[in-house]
A = this chain, B = another copy of it.
């Protein structure tokens, strides 16, 4: 574990950089100040990069659009690997027809809709269509009535033997500097305990997220895991997942893990990043490169 002062020296050692989104590239206020320098340098140096994010609330195209609105054009839809993409792949491979009931916004459901399979909010499931429901997806913490629709979800899973897919493993997410919000992954865990069934979860630290990105790269170039580094602000997802997949990892202190706590948390959890760095923003001297 090495303390690195400038993120630039990390970029210089790898061919491909995987970034977590929240707490690394952006936070609740918008883009991390100066992060565009990092992406400019990546382009100049001909390095590849991907955003690997536990986010199923929107499609990669919509996620990319939100970066462009904030002024970061470097992140295009094909650079984004989201847990929503894994959910879509699972449904395409494993559920041939019928209805996917979901908890989330219409926008989150639109992305996983397909020809053979159409989505319906849990609130619209009733006697007339319950027998056609062939999967349930937990997509987003917004867009539904918690009390009514969570109770309805419990009973749907007791009546129908269908797979339940959790498209975001996070239990909570930061809302602003003081507050957090319960994420759909936390809600799904409560339902899972109550119905006593085993849900299918997509998202870091699970390897499947990293594998999806790795596979995308290999379609156009040969690559070795030694040439990739994962950058994240959360030990339990970004760093644990990156390590397990065999990647080098960088813990940045611009999000969930505060500088004062980093060492304690690393020792307490036994999750060891390869490097620790203040942020993914490259320093002032590199600016004129």
Of residues 8 to 46 in A, which have CB atoms within 8 Å of B's CB atoms?
none
State A8–B194 Cα separation when bound (angstroms).
Answer: 35
Is A285 part of the binding interface, using a Cβ–Cβ cutoff of 8 Å?
no
4 further interface pairs, Cβ-Cβ under 8 Å (given A154-B182, A186-B190, A208-B245): A89-B246, A155-B179, A198-B236, A208-B244
A207 touches B211 (CB 8 A): yes
Of residues 115 to 147 in A, which have CB atoms within 8 Å of B's CB atoms?
141, 145-147
Q: Give the copy number.
A: 4
Contacts known (A190-B190, A207-B211, A246-B89); A270 close to B198, Cβ less than 8 A:
yes
Q: List 30 A-B contacts (CB under 8 A).
A: A1-B161, A90-B246, A93-B246, A94-B246, A146-B146, A154-B172, A154-B180, A155-B179, A158-B179, A161-B267, A162-B272, A163-B243, A163-B272, A171-B193, A171-B194, A180-B194, A182-B190, A186-B193, A186-B194, A189-B193, A190-B190, A195-B270, A196-B269, A197-B271, A198-B269, A198-B271, A200-B243, A200-B244, A207-B207, A208-B245
Is A66 part of the binding interface, using a Cβ–Cβ cutoff of 8 Å?
no
Of residues 185 to 218 in A, which have CB atoms within 8 Å of B's CB atoms?
186-187, 189-190, 193-200, 206-208, 211
A243 touches B94 (CB 8 A): yes
Who on chain B is nearest to A153 by CB? B182
Is A262 part of the binding interface, using a Cβ–Cβ cutoff of 8 Å?
no
Is A268 part of the binding interface, using a Cβ–Cβ cutoff of 8 Å?
yes
Is A181 part of the binding interface, using a Cβ–Cβ cutoff of 8 Å?
yes
State A270–B193 Cα separation when bound (angstroms).
Answer: 12
Is A266 part of the binding interface, using a Cβ–Cβ cutoff of 8 Å?
yes
Partner of A93, one of B150, B180, B226: B226
B198 touches A163 (CB 8 A): no
- 6 nearest A-B pairs in the assembled complex, by CB-CB distance: A197-B270, A146-B146, A93-B246, A190-B190, A146-B147, A207-B208
Chain B residues near A252 (CB, 8 Å)? none
Partner of A225, one of B93, B186, B196: B93
Partner of A164, one of B90, B158, B161, B270: B270
Who on chain B is nearest to A164 by CB? B270
Is A151 part of the binding interface, using a Cβ–Cβ cutoff of 8 Å?
yes
Who on chain B is nearest to A247 by CB? B93
Is A109 part of the binding interface, using a Cβ–Cβ cutoff of 8 Å?
no
